[in-house]
Chain A
């Protein structure tokens, strides 16, 4: 089955460390997204990319950077992790040809920054 995968699934790191979360998809979708989910705050968009050369900031991009290495791969980096970046991170994809009607989410990465 075409899928969205994320690695790692769980990560514990320390303040100040640089970490990378990776997302891969086999759906053939051109659009990819990174969200974080926090209790009481819901899903918030960090970055989105409509193709390899089109990357845009979302509502909470400070402290994060991204790389779209290929149509199928979209990575999120925390340059210097801080405790308030502890959250559940989701990658998602959508299909422009279907009017982005649905976003398909990966299984999530639970990140803890100590």
Chain B
């Protein structure tokens, strides 16, 4: 079982719709969860982080965390063509080095 699992996609949504991106993780001790956006040919950039169970909203983005189900998601409301990118889920686990493990990323396509 991979430590961080994502569906590679592509996930296609029409412009204006809600895009829902999902991620599961295997280590129950994981404490911090991140969503990075990566445009084609570019480097990843952080868009959201969440530490506690529940929802965290930032503009059109909402991160949702359910530690009991080992599940974290990212919702993008009013999706725009400029949101088309690959979204990487990253999970940090405790220890001497707080290891950050990345998923393979989900490719999102927003259709105008």
Contacts and interface: CB of A to CB of B under 8 A. Distances in A.
Nearest to B46: A102
Interface in B79-112: 88, 92, 97-100, 102-105
B43 A106 contact: yes
B7 interface: no
B44 interface: yes
B8 A102 contact: no
A100 B93 CA distance: 12
Interface string A90-111: 1000000000111101111000
B105 A42 contact: yes
B45 A105 contact: yes
B43 A43 contact: no
Given A43-B88, A100-B98, A90 B46 contact: no
Contacts of A56: 97
Contacts of B98: 100
Contacts of B88: 42-43
A21 B45 CA distance: 21
B60 interface: no
Interface residues of A, number: 18
Contact of A40 (B42, B43, B46, B104): B104
Nearest to B34: A102
A1 B67 CA distance: 37
A41 interface: yes
A29 to B, nearest CB: 14
A103 B100 contact: yes
Given A43-B102, A107-B43, A108-B43, A102 B97 contact: no
Interface of A: 40-45, 48, 50, 56, 90, 100-103, 105-108
21 contacts: A40-B104, A42-B88, A42-B103, A42-B105, A43-B102, A44-B102, A45-B100, A48-B97, A56-B97, A90-B43, A90-B44, A100-B92, A100-B100, A101-B49, A102-B49, A103-B44, A105-B45, A107-B42, A107-B43, A108-B42, A108-B43
